[in-house]
A and B are shown apart, each in its own frame.
Chain A
Amino acid sequence: MKNRLKELRTAREWSQAELAERLDVSRQTINAIETEKYDPSLPLALKIGRLFKRPVEEIFEA
């Protein structure tokens, strides 16, 4: 699944570690999502949406 996580993160000048800490996940998980190796669960996707103040479908697209 394509996503704009890296774009949104770099726009805020956050490192993967910083974003991981804000989302209560590991840095590896953030990297796996950014490189599209892993699709996050619905709760995590919603958490990402809330953190960036954007709807989930704007961040993730099938």
Chain B
Amino acid sequence: MKPHAPAPRSSGGLLKVLALLQLGLAIFRLVIEQASWPSVSMSIAGALLMIFCAPEIVNDERVEHLKLKGAKAGLLVGTLVVMLTQLGATMAKRGPAQPSGSGLPPTRLPLSAFDALSLVLLITLGCYYYWRWQDGRAEAAS
């Protein structure tokens, strides 16, 4: 063991900068160029995934633990929200009872897979940075 060795450093900052640029570009395309939402949502999901996967400056076991904890919360809440949204959209389109045998026309999903991924990643990253901020805040207080 090297007791005085410096903590491991990583180049995750560059990946985060690239992800933020991609996110900014996607929002610019949506607002200024009026680009279609499906093409923009793919870019947003990709940028959020890059932020999530980018290693921290000191990428230790606590970071991995909080990311996993955040991903669990994000998957649980995100999937629940997507299911409820889908259920709400289906109920709103159903209307009066149909005679048996007349199948409902296929309805378009209110949220695409990329929208769902973005939602899950937003919750995950929100939880992760909140817990990380709490660790830092308590540290300053102690």
Contact B142 A35 (CB under 8 A): yes
Mostly, the A contact residues are: helix
Give the A-B contact count at a CB cut-off of 8 A. Answer: 64
Known interface pairs A31-B135, A31-B142, A34-B142. Does A26 touch B63 (Cβ–Cβ under 8 Å)? yes
* With A29-B63, A51-B1 already in contact, 8 other A-B pairs whose C-beta atoms are closer than 8 Å: A24-B7, A25-B58, A26-B7, A28-B62, A28-B135, A29-B58, A31-B135, A31-B139
Total interface residues in chain A, CB < 8 Å: 24
Known interface pairs A38-B65, A50-B1. Does A26 touch B138 (Cβ–Cβ under 8 Å)? no
Please provide the chain A residues from 13 to 43 with a CB less than 8 Å away from any CB of chain B in the complex: 16, 20-22, 24-32, 34-35, 37-38, 40-41
Q: Which residues of B contact A34 (CB under 8 A)?
A: 142
A34 to B135, CA, bound (A): 11
A29 to B3, CA, bound (A): 17
Please provide the chain B residues from 49 to 66 with a CB less than 8 Å away from any CB of chain A in the complex: 56-58, 60-63, 65
- The smallest C-beta distance from B126 to any residue of chain A, in angstroms, reads 17
Mostly, the B contact residues are: loop
**Residues on A close to B: CB < 8 A?**
6, 16, 20-22, 24-32, 34-35, 37-38, 40-41, 44, 47, 50-51
Contact B60 A25 (CB under 8 A): yes
A35 to B58, CA, bound (A): 20
Total interface residues in chain B, CB < 8 Å: 21
Known interface pairs A25-B61, A25-B62, A26-B58. Does A51 touch B3 (Cβ–Cβ under 8 Å)? yes
**Residues on B close to A: CB < 8 A?**
1, 3-8, 56-58, 60-63, 65, 132, 135-136, 138-139, 142
